[in-house]
Amino acid sequence: MHIHILGICGTFMGGVALLAKAAGHTVSGSDQNVYPPMSTQLQQQGIVLSEGYDPAHITDEVDQVVIGNAMSRGNPVVEYVLNKNIPYTSGPQWLSENVLSNRWVLAVAGTHGKTTTSSMLAWILEYAGLKPGFLIGGVPENFGLSARFGEYPFFVVEADEYDTAFFDKRSKFVHYQPRTCVLNNLEFDHADIFDDLAAIQKQFHHLVRTVPGEGKIIMNGAETHLDEVIAMGCWTPVERFSIAGDDWSMRNIAQDGSQFDVYVDEEKAGTVSWKLNGNHNRMNALAAIAAARHAGVPAKDACDALAEFKGIKRRMELIGEVNGIRVFDDFAHHPTAITETLIAAKEIAGDRRIIAILEPRSNTMRMGVHKQELMGSLQGADQIYLFEPENLGWDLRDMAKHSATPASVFDDTAELIQAVCTQAQSGDHILVMSNGGFEALHSRLLQKLAA
């Protein structure tokens, strides 16, 4: 079968493409924005990519079109598919019917940490010799791919609450029917599709309804918003994790974050010694270890596995170092994630300066939903540089005026790079945060620093 995927360079749809290719299908795809790392890994797998949404990309050989949730009515290729009566489906529905059927699905949901926790969980299962399949919204360094079919029965999926498609407004994760379900945290986000927090909680409740009674829910015990979801109805045993006081907890955390002990029911289960930093990553690790135990991996083995966990592209990823100046890339685009990322950066940097560069690119951020919290979330940096994209729905410069930390705003990336290079000095840690390509700012910044 020839499958054509619309929106193929999104992290989820790119993963669907890889799985379809592994299942023996001919796969092609179209996207408006084709950039690494997704474009690179797709092309390496022999998947043909087309720039833009020209109906001519849908050739007579195409048997089915998989439509990404970024596509909407009025798009010329969407209208062509509908008018020509070409069979179509959504990415989550295709995944459910063609990959997840009859498998032990381990789903990781939450506002933050889904990609990291899913990657840790997949690696723990791999380390234990279980050879899981997975679909993750990023590229785990241990695998080099965002998705693979794997062997039966285990499949790890990053369970996103965003809507499924223009014709299916349910959250993606209701299609997955997990046996093991991780609920990392829950805050208001995706203001372009959800009116308020209660609307998101309702979708999480729908997810909880799909978990069997013989399954397991692994939940952040410090999240009252998740407690409210469980109170709506739960038919599955729940294990909670937190820094201290729940079924799963952590103790004896090293000052640089390189080591901590894992406790289960007040008994030490193992020690994690690793390269990651930040309390958010330690919480992600607890969730992954707990989920892996439900799949049969002893907690000690899971802790040992994380010693070899290499991280994920675009999650505090060191892009390069020039003249003692280190440049990191991170996906953070929500105030809570920005705060936690800067705390982790401080563990790495110690007493050295942190220069934060942020592009407020997500739909929610562009709408100004989190504008009041944004500057506060950046105060962990020593210097702040903000990029103002076109058609931002609020005054970023006015917000920057209220920052206690020096903050500058630019609407041109070349000028921003020049300003950073003028200020940067040996020992600085430059953290670039965006959930998009950011005009290849990382590589351009390194080139300018080298020059």
Predicted confidence (pLDDT) per residue in 318-339, tens digit: 888 888 999 988 877 778 788 8
- pLDDT-derived band at 348 (thresholds 50, 70, 90) equals confident
CATH code for position 436 = 3.90.190.20
Verify that 112 and 253 share a domain, yes or no: yes
Number of folded domains that form the chain:
3
Q: What is the model's pLDDT at position 235?
A: 97
Q: What is the model's pLDDT at position 132?
A: 98
Mean pLDDT of 171-183: 97
Mean pLDDT over the full length of the chain: 90
Q: What is the model's pLDDT at position 169?
A: 93
Q: What is the model's pLDDT at position 33?
A: 78
Residue 195: CB partners within 8 Å, gap ≥ 6? none
Domain that holds residue 347: 317-450
Verify that 268 and 339 share a domain, yes or no: no
Q: Is residue 64 part of a domain?
A: yes
Lowest mean pLDDT among 10-24, 110-124, 281-295, 359-373: 359-373
Verify that 339 and 430 share a domain, yes or no: yes
Verify that 36 and 111 share a domain, yes or no: no
Q: What is the model's pLDDT at position 49?
A: 92
The string of pLDDT tens digits covering residues 130-150 is: 999 999 988 899 998 889 999
Verify that 365 and 331 share a domain, yes or no: yes
- Between 393 and 101, where is the model more confident? 101
Verify that 274 and 409 share a domain, yes or no: no
Mean pLDDT of 419-425: 90
Start-to-end C-alpha separation, the chain? 50
Q: What is the model's pLDDT at position 364?
A: 66
Give the number of other Cβ atoms within 10 Å of residue 100's Cβ. 20
- pLDDT-derived band at 368 (thresholds 50, 70, 90) equals low
